[in-house]
Amino acid sequence: MKILLLLLILVPFLGGLSMMVRPIEDTHRRNVYVMCLCSAVSVAAIAMLAAFLPTASAADTVFVRIFGENFSIALHIDGLSAVFVAIVAILWPVTNLYAFEYMQHDHAQNRFFAFFTMTYGVVLGIAMSANLFTLYLFYELLTLCTLPLVMHEMDSIARGAGIRYLVYSMSGAALAFISMMILSSYGSLVFQSGGGLNRVLASGHEDLLYAGFLMGFFGFGVKAAIFPFHGWLPAAGVAPTPVTALLHAVAVVNAGIFAILRLLYFGYGASFLAGSFAQNVMLAVTSFTIIYGSTMALRMQHLKRRLAYSTVSNLSYMLLGAALCSGVGLTAAILHMIAHSALKIALFFCAGALLCRTEEMPQGVQEYVFQYTGYAKKTPAIFAVFTIASLGLIGIPPLCGFTSKWAIAEAAVQQGSALAITGCAALAVSAFLTGMYLLSLILEAYFPPEGFDDTPLAELTDPGFRMKTALWICAALGLLLVLIMPLLQRVIGSFAAGLI
């Protein structure tokens, strides 16, 4: 079982690297290779979670020692990593299916799928890290693997977005590194319930440790798009939609959330941070980012940028739950990570499908919200999925977005501080703004003004089988979550309760 942990990382990473060494020029052969490789890894990962997690213990950790116990490469599976592994294992093959059709007329497809496949292994490495040092190494490797994907088009805009992404990521990495060094001086980097901080050593140095934690919070928070370090995310929308959908709406940004959860609950410790100025900073910044992201999304007319700012807002929903430093807050944060991943990837898939279909129209690619008037009649599958995902993200009962948002609000009220209640109010305002920026597009697409001439849309249709299948799978996942959210809440809650 130990070797399986290593193989889950090495197989996709080396499999993608081999495509750089020996490119597969035949499109069909490459698609089969990528799909079989990633699907096999996903099946193995899900099977491992089903068989391994109930009996996982410290004895099952895979160690490759470098400098000592604190600075060693170690892999492990626990409840939190299981959630992240499951999310990417389910969504990665679906995104591959979508990407095969989306990228079929694009250039440098071999390079794209090589780095895309390598990234799968790196993300699994982050998910299965057993200590902060290992997580940090994979976290930095994630930046290097995804940079070519952001810059895929290699034009001036893509290069600018890539440089911005790199500068933000490296700056955040510097802050996270300092935080890691401070924690290692006063405790252990090994992830453990309640945190690895040695309270005897920490006594008298609380202010330094609070500051150190905040460096890590904002450092890892770069990929979680926390204000004011969010600017790279909307800019990265120039990347192909499979990248913005899976990586910059799910895997990369969730890696930022995941790293903060590890640092807070398994590193410095929620009980140590509760009631401190560090917690107050977290609550204030996340509440502001929730409102800021939703407001900017409402302002954006470019569809992918609107969805990117929506992601900025929703990531801070998760961070707000985490910042409550409670078991119910952590549970709510994880629930929203699951719900947001399924719903947001569906929305980005729909946006990408619209870009693909309008590329063939005489008037050219349609990228802006106001250009989609009357489109629902011509692209019923796209807008059916977009509507389902939008209602879920808004938080319409009983969809999964409602369950996760309600759980965050309940946790905030239970915590009871003024900043927590402010965060709860921010959730309500954001939900209203989310309804405005998503429903406005849906209403325009389904109910064009009287006398609307749809002649220019005569050749517009839904995408092909592969993209449409990916869309419906994401919609089905969003609806399935409605049924299993109560179960997930109980299971995750029992795990989170032991971390405080």
pLDDT exceeds 60 at position 295: yes
Who has greater pLDDT, 286 or 110?
286
- Tell me how far apart the alpha carbons of residues 323 and 282 are, in angstroms, rounded to a whole number: 6
Percent of the chain exceeding pLDDT 90 equals: 57
- 142-180 burial, b at 16+ Cβ within 10 Å, e below that, comes to bbebbbbbbbbbeeeebeebbebbbebbeebbebbeebb
Report which of 176, 171, 178 is spatially closest to residue 229, judged by C-alpha positions: 171
pLDDT exceeds 60 at position 59: no
305-319, 351-365, 455-469 — most confident range: 305-319
Lowest mean pLDDT among 33-37, 197-201, 356-360, 419-423: 356-360
Lowest mean pLDDT among 159-168, 265-274, 323-332, 421-430: 159-168
Asked if residues 237 and 308 have their Cβ atoms less than 8 Å apart, the reply is: yes
Q: What is the pLDDT of residues 300-333, one digit of tens each?
A: 998 999 999 999 999 999 999 999 999 899 999 9
DSSP helix/strand/coil, 274: coil
Q: What is the pLDDT of residues 373-405, one digit of tens each?
A: 888 888 899 999 999 999 999 999 999 999 999
Contacts of 108 (CB under 8 A, 6+ apart): 152, 154
Contacts of 87 (CB under 8 A, 6+ apart): 250, 254, 337, 338, 341
Contacts of 330 (CB under 8 A, 6+ apart): 261, 265, 270, 321, 322, 324, 496, 499
- Report the DSSP pairing between strands 62-65 and 72-75: antiparallel
- Tell me how far apart the alpha carbons of residues 11 and 37 are, in angstroms, rounded to a whole number: 8
Q: Which pLDDT score is estimated for 66?
A: 61
* SS (HEC) of the chain: CHHHHHHHHHHHHHHHHHHHHCCCCCHHHHHHHHHHHHHHHHHHHHHHHHHHHHHCCHHHCEEEECCCCCCEEEECCCHHHHHHHHHHHHHHHHHHHHHHHHCCCCCCHHHHHHHHHHHHHHHHHHHCECEHHHHHHHHHHHHHHHHHHHCCCCCHHHHHHHHHHHHHHHHHHHHHHHHHHHHHHCECCECCCCCCECHHHHCCCHHHHHHHHHHHHHHHCCCCCCCCCCCHHHHHHHCCHHHHHHHHHHHHHHHHHHHHHHHHHHHHCHHHHCCCHHHHHHHHHHHHHHHHHHHHHHHCCEHHHHHHHHHHHHHHHHHHHHHCCCHHHHHHHHHHHHHHHHHHHHHHHHHHHHHHHHCCCCCCCCCEHHHCCCHHHCCHHHHHHHHHHHHHHHCCCCCHHHHHHHHHHHHHHHHCCHHHHHHHHHHHHHHHHHHHHHHHHHHHHHCCCCCCCCHHHCCCCCCCHHHHHHHHHHHHHHHHHHHHHHHHHHHHHHHHHHHC
Q: What is the pLDDT of residues 163-206, one digit of tens each?
A: 888 899 899 999 999 999 999 999 889 888 888 888 878 788 88
Report which of 355, 390, 303 is spatially closest to residue 463, judged by C-alpha positions: 355
Tell me, what DSSP letter sits at residue 73? E
Q: Which pLDDT score is estimated for 233?
A: 86
H helices present in 128-205, as ranges = 132-150, 156-185, 199-202
Neighbours of 181 (CB within 10 A): 12
Q: What is the pLDDT of residues 121-152, one digit of tens each?
A: 999 999 999 899 999 999 999 999 998 888 87
- The pLDDT-based confidence of 67 (bands split at 50, 70, 90) is low
- Tell me how far apart the alpha carbons of residues 281 and 409 are, in angstroms, rounded to a whole number: 18
Who has greater pLDDT, 365 or 194?
194
> Taking the domains of the chain in order of start, what are their residue ranges?
275-500
Report which of 104, 124, 121 is spatially closest to residue 30, judged by C-alpha positions: 104
Q: Which pLDDT score is estimated for 1?
A: 62
Mean pLDDT score of the chain, rounded to an integer? 88
pLDDT exceeds 50 at position 2: yes
Q: Which pLDDT score is estimated for 208?
A: 93
